[in-house]
Chain A
Amino acid sequence: MIELDTLRKSYGDEVVVDDVSLTLETGTITAVVGTSGSGKSTLLKLVNRLVEPESGTVRVDGTDTRALPLTELRRSIGYVIQDNGLFPHWSVARNVGAVPRLLGWPQDEIDARVSELLELMRLDPERIGPRYPHELSGGQAQRVGVARALAARPRMMLMDEPFGALDPVIRQEARAELAAIQRRLGATVLLVTHDMGEALSLGDQIAVMEAGRLLQVGTPAEIVLSPAAPQVRALIGEDERGFRHLALLPLAPLVRPNRAHVPTGGAELGEPLAAGASCADALSRMIWTGARMLPVAGQAGEPPGVVAIEDVLAAGRAGGPQTGRSGRPDGVGSGCDGRRNRGTGR
């Protein structure tokens, strides 16, 4: 667990981090969202002491970070930045092995770890390892940056706009990769982004920052359903709230048994939706195909079912302006405030 406790930092007269407290549970992703100049990058740097706070403390598992030697603290925290910051005069393999080398690992262990990480990042160690950063594509360099941050098995990762330099298609892929890796390794991640969509799709916890202050901290559903301030509303995008919310909702609770009046598997409806799909995926398919009902694949051995457009819309509305009106009597849609759905097929 990482605790940021009443942190404050100013440059001259400008207060960039103002009395910020935030708790990151072990093994979760916390996304700090804000416009540029909101102080979110500075907040990130306060954690590994690239910036020292004027007041307040950061505790890692109860230990004040100031009690640790600076280099030791930093070597235990992975750090990924937008411009990847790869050392241009070192090969990819040497870049990835940098922190283990600093920690004095034996060379064969470093080599094994570098190969393991490059494979994890779907980079061929034989081919990519000896290359220099200027010989990589943007997506490759970003993955090498993440591999380098993971090298010494840090319990914590700090990521500053890690996908900012990537084109949209690769960015989507990189997010999915990060989510999968984080779940596998169980690292605690603090991620800074200006993109609310990215924060909602990745974060277990969202912290919205503006002018050095935290406006709201909550789960993705809380942020979307009950934004605490106009700035939060603006970041979500008023007209996109419905879709943002639907994207967070797993489809599974809305699936009902197929009562044979739906042409499941019909050619015009396409393949059944994946069991792990979100409500947004279902609505998007309904809009595209014109169907009011869609087949859904069965979850873990259960028989396939169907989902109806009315249920999807009702689930999306739950928590909206009509909150309080009962949705469906059978409780369908109550999955809304559960853990976020990290999207389809991951």
Chain B
Amino acid sequence: MRQGGVDLLRLGLAVVGVAAAMALPVVSVRASRIAPPELRWLAAVLGPGELAAAASVGLAALATLVLARDARVRLAVALVTVAGLLVGLGQLAAALVPEAGPYARIAPGPGAWLLLGTLSLFLTEAAAALTLGPLGRLGLGAGILAGLVSLLGSPMLASLSLLVEYRNRAASFWSEAAQHLVLAGGSFAAALVVGVPLGLVAARSRRVGRPVLAALTAIQTVPSIAMFGLLLLPLGWLATHVALAATLGVRGIGTAPALVGLFLYALLPVVGHTAAGIAGVPAAVLEAASAMGLDRRQRLRDVELPLALPVLLTGARIALVQNIGLATVGALIGAGGFGVFVFQGIGQTATDLVLLGALPPVALALMAALVMDALIAAVPGSAAAGRARSGSAPEVAA
């Protein structure tokens, strides 16, 4: 940030925002949920008085975002502007409904999406300038999510096509959400239970570690669709030949192969990071631990695992975020989850339905990442924990 001048990055963002609002269509209207969109520009949907009001409010907000020195002011203005834009779009949609007909879908157009993207960049820029600790970022993320959810649930946005689509699917939306969490969370938990001990063994013995990591790397390169297809055969065989497997609900398609596949994908980050974390414990610390009379179990529990924890949690973060995303593909083999909406939407060429399935996992993954970052920072003695406590860089040793 240069002192005294106008920040060029923020100025550029503002120019993009103005151009998006003026030059691109801000609303798309479709006669039905699968009809081709008809695009409307801002000038076409607002009367001259409304247009002048919207333009002056918008320009004032963008000017503040560019010129305000205080990052807290910019953050607040960006948040308010995003909320205002969403509410404005909702009102616009509501105003267009009588004209467009009962089956019409009114969604944000390219200009509105670009403006939202620009504003979220302003938001990220302001949050970064605040140099929040991991806990602060988690708080901010949770706050934004809560605000977004309450806004989406309010009648102000009810006429937007995404929410119309949601209301049609409300019952299955939440059951698929739960299933999505089961797939991502269950496979993640299993990967931790198996992967951490495997990582320990890999760290202790090269002879075990190398082939294990090589195999897990190979698994990681298999495309997820192919993986689920490959699992169909052995699990199907299990279901028909082992009575216990069948009673447990193991089948060639459905939850079981999805869980197994996601578990396999999650193993590499968990095992790799556990092994790296253990291998990274300083030799002097290990020597001191032995010399002080800690036995093998105490050394592992009190020294090695706690010191490997930040690295281990970084691996867990990768595994969790990756599984939340990949679980979407599980719908292809009947495992349910948000992917159900995505694939149905693709099949019906219904964009709203695709978005209904695609946006929640993105929000989930972002939140999971923020939670894991906060956990990593909470590990005692780590430099990050020192920063989180004192709110600044660790003090230079006197």
What is A's interface to B at a CB cutoff of 8 Å? 48, 50, 70-75, 77, 79, 81-90, 98-99, 102, 132-138, 140, 148, 158
Q: Which stretch from B226-234, B256-264, B290-298 is at the chain A interface?
A: B290-298
Contact: B381 with A79, CB < 8 Å? Answer: no
- The answer, among B293, B295, B382, for a CB contact under 8 Å with A99, is B293
* Residue contacts A-B, CB under 8 angstroms, 12 given: A71-B293, A71-B294, A74-B293, A81-B288, A83-B284, A84-B288, A86-B288, A89-B307, A102-B294, A134-B381, A135-B397, A137-B397
B73 CB–A CB distance under 8 Å: no
The number of chain B residues with a CB under 8 A from chain A is 27
User: Which B residues between 374 and 398 are near A, CB-CB below 8 angstroms?
Assistant: 379-383, 386, 394-395, 397-398
**A170–B306 CA distance with the chains assembled, in angstroms:** 32
- 7 more A-B residue pairs beyond the given contacts A88-B307, A99-B292, with a C-beta to C-beta distance below 8 A: A74-B291, A82-B284, A84-B284, A86-B288, A90-B381, A134-B394, A135-B394
B367 CB–A CB distance under 8 Å: no
Residue numbers in A under 8 Å from B397 (CB-CB): 134-138, 140
Residue numbers in A under 8 Å from B288 (CB-CB): 79, 81, 84-87
**A98–B288 CA distance with the chains assembled, in angstroms:** 11
Residue numbers in A under 8 Å from B148 (CB-CB): none
What is B's interface to A at a CB cutoff of 8 Å? 282, 284-285, 287-295, 298, 302-303, 306-307, 379-383, 386, 394-395, 397-398
**A148–B285 CA distance with the chains assembled, in angstroms:** 13
Contact: B379 with A79, CB < 8 Å? Answer: no
Contact: A88 with B381, CB < 8 Å? Answer: yes
Contact: B287 with A87, CB < 8 Å? Answer: no
Residue numbers in B under 8 Å from A99 (CB-CB): 292-293
**A74–B289 CA distance with the chains assembled, in angstroms:** 10
Contact: A81 with B287, CB < 8 Å? Answer: yes
**A137–B293 CA distance with the chains assembled, in angstroms:** 26
Residue numbers in A under 8 Å from B394 (CB-CB): 134-135
Residue numbers in B under 8 Å from A132 (CB-CB): 380-381, 386
Contact: B284 with A134, CB < 8 Å? Answer: no
The smallest beta-carbon distance between A147 and chain B, in angstroms, is 13
**A325–B294 CA distance with the chains assembled, in angstroms:** 58
**A132–B292 CA distance with the chains assembled, in angstroms:** 19
Q: Which 4 A-B pairs have the closest CB atoms?
A: A85-B288, A89-B381, A75-B293, A74-B293
**A50–B283 CA distance with the chains assembled, in angstroms:** 13
- The answer, among A74, A79, A89, A135, for a CB contact under 8 Å with B380, is A89
Residue numbers in B under 8 Å from A140 (CB-CB): 397-398
The smallest beta-carbon distance between A123 and chain B, in angstroms, is 12
Given contacts A74-B291, A88-B285, contact A137 B398 (CB under 8 A): yes
Contact: B386 with A79, CB < 8 Å? Answer: no
Contact: B284 with A81, CB < 8 Å? Answer: yes
**A133–B284 CA distance with the chains assembled, in angstroms:** 14
* Most chain A beta-carbon neighbours within 10 Å: one of B293, B295, B380, B397: B293
Contact: B386 with A134, CB < 8 Å? Answer: yes
Contact: B291 with A50, CB < 8 Å? Answer: yes
**A145–B383 CA distance with the chains assembled, in angstroms:** 20
Given contacts A89-B382, A137-B398, contact A50 B290 (CB under 8 A): yes
- The answer, among A74, A138, A148, A158, for a CB contact under 8 Å with B290, is A74
**A18–B250 CA distance with the chains assembled, in angstroms:** 64
The smallest beta-carbon distance between A299 and chain B, in angstroms, is 38
**A86–B303 CA distance with the chains assembled, in angstroms:** 11
Residue numbers in B under 8 Å from A50 (CB-CB): 287, 290-291
The smallest beta-carbon distance between A187 and chain B, in angstroms, is 16
Contact: A134 with B292, CB < 8 Å? Answer: no
Residue numbers in B under 8 Å from A83 (CB-CB): 282, 284
Residue numbers in A under 8 Å from B307 (CB-CB): 87-89
- The answer, among B282, B292, B295, B383, for a CB contact under 8 Å with A79, is B292
Given contacts A132-B381, A134-B394, A135-B386, contact A89 B306 (CB under 8 A): yes
Residue numbers in B under 8 Å from A134 (CB-CB): 381, 383, 386, 394, 397
